[in-house]
Structure formats: structure tokens, C-alpha cells
Structure 1
Amino acid sequence: MLFQVVLMNMTARRQVRDLRLIWALCIASLVIYINLYMMQGMLPLIAEHFQVSSARSTLVLSVTSFTLALSLLIYAVVSDRIGRHRPIVISLWVLALSNLPLVFIDDFRTLLFVRLLQGVLLASLPAIAMAYFKEQLKPQTMLTAAAVYITANSVGGIVGRLLGGAMSQLFDWQSAMLACFGFSVICVGIAHYLLPKTRDAVKRERTKLPWSEKLNFSTDIAGFMHHLRDSQMRLAYLIGGITFMMMVNQYSFIQLHLMAEPFAWSRFQATLIFLCYSSGTIASYFTARWIMKHGQLPLFRLSLLLMFVGSLLTLFDTEFAICIGFLFSSCGFFVTHSCCNSFVAMRATSHRAKATSLYLCCYYLGAAVGGPYLMMFWHSAGWAGVIGGSMMLLSLIAVFVWRLGYRQRQTMLPHPVC
């Protein structure tokens, strides 16, 4: 009886600790993605305040995505050396405080420089979160936590863009940045309080090593190369990166399209298109059970079909068709992202943070490259050109999905006996 009581208490404490970890990283995720995507909702205000063209204002998102992508690899190495907890907490606080200088900026190049630095800080949580979950949670709980975490990413993206649109309509630049600073500080404080003092397996392992091995980066390079040599991992990285390259930048250019004639939407009305992300938020929550039931490959194919249909629907160029099209595309995109995330996390048996960071590096590099890529089509043929460029990307994704299925079938074939 006493043993059962002790066991129940230990289980209850573990459940509370697991819940605190999930909630803390989800709230931190809201801070990260609101800070990342709020600027996307503020593109019209940025263009007006800094006196640059609407197309050039999209560089604010591209430069942040670029440094975020490269910094993911650094955080993977750092977290494998000093643990998961400290890098997340420190980077979150510095990120929140870095919003204060934005209040006083009036030069576009300076804005790009600060956002470039913020991209480095934004990378910590995405690089570490999935590895943190896998080390601290049981496999069943980990899949659920991953689904909830990706849902929080989606909610943060929606809220950030809508907040940006609302503030660009109601506030001037200084007031908007001050509000962002206050919100970030409060949410980081809550996340820091909730984040439990978990036993850090990585930190314990590293303390046993001599300093010569701790400073030896050949192990880190070998860890990255281990995953890059895996053909299935490479395909997952490419699928996620190209999908995001298309999706996030479609949302940037559809705002410009909706603010022009014949729609003539206001700044805030144009950001309401980001509510279409809600289909992805809902889908990502259920993706964990869909993966367990059907596997990743059928979901890749379904999501690709949804993105094809959704993109083509927008060519009818009515408000209704555009909204339905983006609902379809967003659903397909988030199912793809969830499948890639879980595939990488579950396939990586070692150097887990490096595996996740390589995926997210490709993911955010896609966002950075996608802006200039689709901008060429936008300048040449407007929204129809953007869809044309997107169809090329979707065709490339289809090839990679087929190739992933082929690779998986090859590994399942029995080897001939000599």
C-alpha cells in the first residue's frame, strides 16, 4: 500500500512537471512567433514610416528569417554542451529587452540591422524545444507535446500578424514597439516561472568529459554530417524548407494584393487573411494521432494536394475564393510541417538538437529565400505570377515526397541472402 502511494505521488509529480514544461515552452513559443511575425502584419506601416516601397518592406521578414536559420545550428551545438534550460531562458530575456531600441529607430537600414540581431535570439527555442521534449517526456507524451507546441507556433503566428495589423492601423511606430516590448517582458516572465528545473541529461554527460573534449568541435560537425548523410532526413529538410518558402511569402504578397484595387482593403483588413492560419492550427493539433494511425507519407500526399488546390483557387480572384484557398493551403502547410517535425525528431537517435536545428535551418532559409524569389514573379505578373512561382515549388515538393516514399520502400525490402 505504501509503495502504491509513493508511486502515485511520483507519477503525479512527473505529470505536473511535464505539464509545466509543455506550458512554459508553448508560452515561450508565443513570444518567439509574435516577435517574428508581428512585422509581417505591420508591412504597410513600415513602408510608410521608413519611406520605402511595399515590396522592399518585406525584407524585414527575410533578414530575420535568414539569421534565425543560421543561428539554429549554433544553438544546437550550445545546447548539447551546456544543456537545454539556460540557452532558452537567457535568449528569451535578451529578445524581450531588444524590443526597446526599436522604439527610437527611424532609419530602415538600422531596423534591418536590429531585426537581423533579433533573428539570432529568436532561434533558441525552435532549435532546442523538440530535443528538450524528447529527453524529458515519454514517447506518447512527446508526440502530444509536439502537436501542442506546433499549435502554439501557429497561434503565435496568427496573433502576431493580427496584432501587427491592428497596431499599424491604430498606433504609430513608437507606440506599437512599446506595446511589443511590454507584452514580451510579461510573457517571458511567465514562461521563466513555469519552466521546471528538469534534470538535464546533456549537461550531466558533458560534465564527465575532459575540457579537451568539451572544446572539440569535430564531434559537433560529425553530428551534423550524420544527419545530412541520411537521405530520408535530407528529403524531410527539403520538403519542409520549400513548403515554408512558398507559404509564408504568399501571405506577404496577398496583403499587397488585397490592399490594391479592386479590393482596397485597409491595413488591418488585409491582416485578417492571417485568420486562415486557423485551419492549420486545428490540423496541427490532430496531426499526432493521424501520424500514429496512417503514417507520415499519406499525410504528405494529402497536404500537397491541399496546397495545390488552395493555391489555384486564389486565381479566381474573389474575396471568397482567396479565403477558401488560403484555408486549404494553410491546412496542408501545417500538416506538412508537423509531419516533418515529428519525422526528424523520431528518426534522430543521437545528436537530436542538431537534427531538429538542421530541419529548422532549411525551414527558415526557405522563408528568407522565398521573399526575393516570389518578388520576381510579383513584379512581372502580380498575384498570378506569385501563384505561378508557387506551382513550380509545389511540383518540386511532389518529386521529393515521391522520392521519400521510394526510399522508405527500399529500406523495407528484404536483403537477398548470398
Structure 2
Amino acid sequence: MIQQGTKTFRNISLALFAGGFVTFALLYSLQPLMPEISNAFSITPAHASLTLSVTTIAMALTMLFIGSLSDSVGRRFIMTAALVISSVIALLSAFSPGYTELLLLRILQGVALAGLPAIAMTYLSEEIEPRSLGYAMGLYISGNSIGGMAGRFISGVVTDWFSWRAAVGFIGILGLCAAVIFWLVIPPSRHFVKAAPGFKNPIPLLWSQCRNPRLLCLYGLGFLLMGGFVTLFNYIGFELTGGPYHLSQSIVGSLFVVYLMGTVSSTWMGRLADRYGRSHVLGIALGIILAGAVCTVHPALWVKIIGLALFAFGFFGGHSITSSWVGLVANQHKSQANALYLFFYYLGSSVSGTGGGLLYSHLGWIGIVGMIGVYVLIGFVLCNLLVHRLKGQAT
């Protein structure tokens, strides 16, 4: 098993950092552009949010099956193909003639994108020794956070200079560059045992993971964490481009620099969890998420920005802990266990991201924060249940 500090560990970290970067940049590049898309196609905020929701639900469903495909084809090939194909689809999306065509391309992009996050967690759990896994997972997730921040920031700036279509195309080119880096750096799997060729029905194995109550708690936490995160950042653009703030797309995009807080928290909280216990550090992350959401209610812009930073810090730290926990709780078939975690994780993004639009339309920003508050409370309950179910195991 690969240990922290070795050259191979650094190569894996760099490759998956680049992969996580481009995955989240492609996935969330349209998020700050939803007001522009709403105006361009004369649709409601809830309909505009579907440009993200359909991508994440397609991604979530594909993740249930692509892990089994990688068992026979290989981890490295699937992850690289996912990055290349999804980047090409981004370029095509820049020329979509209408809203329906854009949704169809985003669905296809979700299917393609599934290849990296569904397998990256399994790849890490197979190759990295357990004592270094939390840190390695944190580095991978920090790539996610920087990619999400960069995708949103770049798309906002390019939109102000040119158009939202130019922004989407530019992100696609960036994705192709990152895919090349990934292919050149990622080491071949050393502990991967290739299965017999052919597709095997993963449903029985997936169902067996659902009978594990500890995993169900982690799946629920993934749903809640991502659901709250996406909902907050889906609609903050509508809140800040409207009155009384009237911020430009460039400024709104620049606010996503708060994702850098996730780069810090994912690795730092991953290390704390390895040292002091995952349940304790996860509870702290949930508290930070709630504090950040409450801060965004304040009318002062600087308080809202602090709230966004706190929220990002807590979210990425919490996700780092729960995602690495899945591989430790799953006794066997870790690939399917990780796929199910990501399915619920992105299902939370789709359901809450669009459902939050209905709350926003009827209740305004307080409806968004109220929903997140309920999610955090349920998260505390699941965390306590998880600890109770883990007697005799590291928590």
C-alpha cells in the first residue's frame, strides 16, 4: 500500500487533484450563470436550476453501474475517458440552440462525468494505506473545491466579457488540458484485481450495501451535505444580482473564491478525523455549516460573504470525513458502497437544488436557510445513530 510522502503518493495526489478540479469545474460552471440562462431562454429560476440538476441526477444514476464496469475494464481508462468526453460535451453545449438541447447535452455530460468520482474513491481506498487515506481523500476533495471555485469564477468573468456560451466553451477547453495532465501522471493500479470481461448486474451488490445501517447513515449524510450546499450556491446568484445589491456576474463569480476554504478544511479536517475520531470532527463541521447559513440572512454584504466562507469550510470538511468513512465501514464490495454514497450525494444535489427553487420563489432567501437548518439537524441525528451503530469500531 502507498504511504504518504512517497513519489507515487504525490503522483496520485496530483492526478486526482487535476481530475477533481476539472470534474467540478465542468459540473458547476453553469451555476453562477443561472440568472443569465433564465433571461436567455425566458425561464424561471427553478427551470434554470435544472441545467445543474439533470446533470447531477444523470451522474448519480450512472455511478451505480460504472463502478462494476471499471472492475473489468480498469480504473485508469474509465477515469481518463470520463474527463475527455465530458470536456468535449461542454464545448458542444456552448453551441446549443435552445433550452431543451442544453438540457439534453447536460444529461449526457452527467453520464460521462460519473466515470471519475465513482471510481476515484475506490482507487484511493485500494492503493493508499488506511493511515494516509484521510489525507489523500482530503487532497482529492480539495481539487473538487478549487475546480468548483475556478469554474464558477471563470464562467462569471468570461460571461461579463463575452457571453455565457463563451464561458461554457472555455471551461471545456480547460477540461481537456486537465485530462491530459491526469493521463500523464496517474499511476496504474497496483492492487486492482481485474474481473472477468463483461457487464455484471450490480443491483444485488448495491442492495446488499443498503442492508448495512451504518452505510445508510453515511448515505443520508451525503444527501444532506450536498443538498444544502448546492441549494445555497444555486440561488445566491439570484439574491446578489437582484436588489438591493445588483452585483455583476464577475463579482458574483469572484465570491466563489470562498471555495478555497474547502481546500483547507478538507485536508485539515481529514487529518483531525484520522487523529481524534470522525464523529467528533463531523459534528463540528455540521455546526460550522449551520453558522455559515445563518450569516447569509444578514443584509450586510460582508456578513453574507463570511457566511459563504464558513459554509464552504464546513461542507468540504464534512464531505471529506463522510466519503473516506464509507470505505472503512464497507466490509466488502467497496466500489459499490462508494457508488451508492455518491448516488445519494448527487441525488441530494438534484432534489434539493431544484426543490430549493420552489422555496425561494415562495419564501425568498429565508426559505433556503430554513431548509438547510433542517438538513443540519437531521445530520446531527444521523451522526449520533452512526456512532451508536459503530460500537467497537473507530469513530
Equivalent position amino acid for 1:354 in 2? Q
1:305 and 2:287 are equivalent in the alignment: yes
Q: Where does residue 88 of structure 2 map in the other structure? A: 97
TM-superposed deviation, 1:96: 2.0
**SS of equivalent to 2:77:** helix
- The 1:42–1:28 alpha-carbon spacing in structure 2 relative to 1, beyond 3 Å, is same
Q: Where does residue 165 of structure 1 map in the other structure? A: 156
Residues of 1 paired with 2:176 and 2:311: CA distance?
Answer: 33
Q: Where does residue 380 of structure 2 map in the other structure? A: 398
Q: 1:377 aligns with which of 322, 338, 359?
A: 359
TM-superposed deviation, 1:216: 4.7
TM-superposed deviation, 1:405: 2.3
**What are the within-5 Å matches in structure 2 for residues 215-254 of structure 1?**
216-217=200-201, 220-254=202-236
Q: Where does residue 74 of structure 2 map in the other structure? A: 83
1:188 and 2:170 are equivalent in the alignment: no
Q: 1:25 aligns with which of 1, 16, 30?
A: 16
TM-superposed deviation, 1:293: 1.7
TM-superposed deviation, 1:140: 3.0
**SS of equivalent to 1:90:** helix
Residues of 1 paired with 2:44 and 2:204: CA distance?
Answer: 44
Q: Where does residue 362 of structure 1 map in the other structure? A: 344
Per-residue CA deviation, residues 319-364 of structure 1 (Å, 9 max, x unaligned), is 1221122222222211210110111022223211111111011000
1:132 and 2:123 are equivalent in the alignment: yes
- The 1:139–1:390 alpha-carbon spacing in structure 2 relative to 1, beyond 3 Å, is closer
Equivalent position amino acid for 2:150 in 1? V
Equivalent position amino acid for 1:295 in 2? G
**What are the within-5 Å matches in structure 2 for residues 36-55 of structure 1?**
36-55=27-46
Equivalent position amino acid for 2:105 in 1? V
TM-superposed deviation, 1:175: 2.6
Per-residue CA deviation, residues 349-390 of structure 1 (Å, 9 max, x unaligned), is 321111111101100000000122212221112111211222
**SS of equivalent to 1:104:** coil
TM-superposed deviation, 1:281: 1.9
TM-superposed deviation, 1:138: 2.4
1:323 and 2:305 are equivalent in the alignment: yes
Q: Where does residue 273 of structure 2 map in the other structure? A: 291
Structure 2 unaligned segments of length 5 or more: list them: none
Q: Where does residue 60 of structure 1 map in the other structure? A: 51
TM-superposed deviation, 1:167: 1.5
- The 1:215–1:249 alpha-carbon spacing in structure 2 relative to 1, beyond 3 Å, is closer
TM-superposed deviation, 1:243: 1.5
Q: Where does residue 112 of structure 1 map in the other structure? A: 103
TM-superposed deviation, 1:68: 0.6
Residues of 2 paired with 1:215 and 1:318: CA distance?
Answer: 55
Residues of 2 paired with 1:110 and 1:137: CA distance?
Answer: 41
- The 1:260–1:215 alpha-carbon spacing in structure 2 relative to 1, beyond 3 Å, is closer
TM-score by length of 2: 0.93
Q: Where does residue 416 of structure 1 map in the other structure? A: none
Residues of 1 paired with 2:72 and 2:377: CA distance?
Answer: 40
Q: Percent of counterpart pairs with the same letter? A: 28
**What are the within-5 Å matches in structure 2 for residues 171-210 of structure 1?**
171-199=162-190, 201-203=192-194, 206-207=195-196
**SS of equivalent to 2:355:** helix
Structure 1 unaligned segments of length 5 or more: list them: 1-10, 413-418
Residues of 2 paired with 1:243 and 1:20: CA distance?
Answer: 29
- The 1:57–1:76 alpha-carbon spacing in structure 2 relative to 1, beyond 3 Å, is same
**SS of equivalent to 2:243:** coil
* The 10-residue stretch of structure 1 (294-303 or 191-200) with the greater mean CA deviation from structure 2: 191-200
TM-score by length of 1: 0.88
Residues of 1 paired with 2:200 and 2:52: CA distance?
Answer: 35
- Kept in 1, the 8 Å contact 2:131–2:274? The answer is no
Residues of 1 paired with 2:287 and 2:349: CA distance?
Answer: 21
- Kept in 2, the 8 Å contact 1:154–1:281? The answer is yes
TM-superposed deviation, 1:291: 0.8
- Kept in 2, the 8 Å contact 1:312–1:387? The answer is yes
Per-residue CA deviation, residues 139-166 of structure 1 (Å, 9 max, x unaligned), is 2333322111011111111111111111
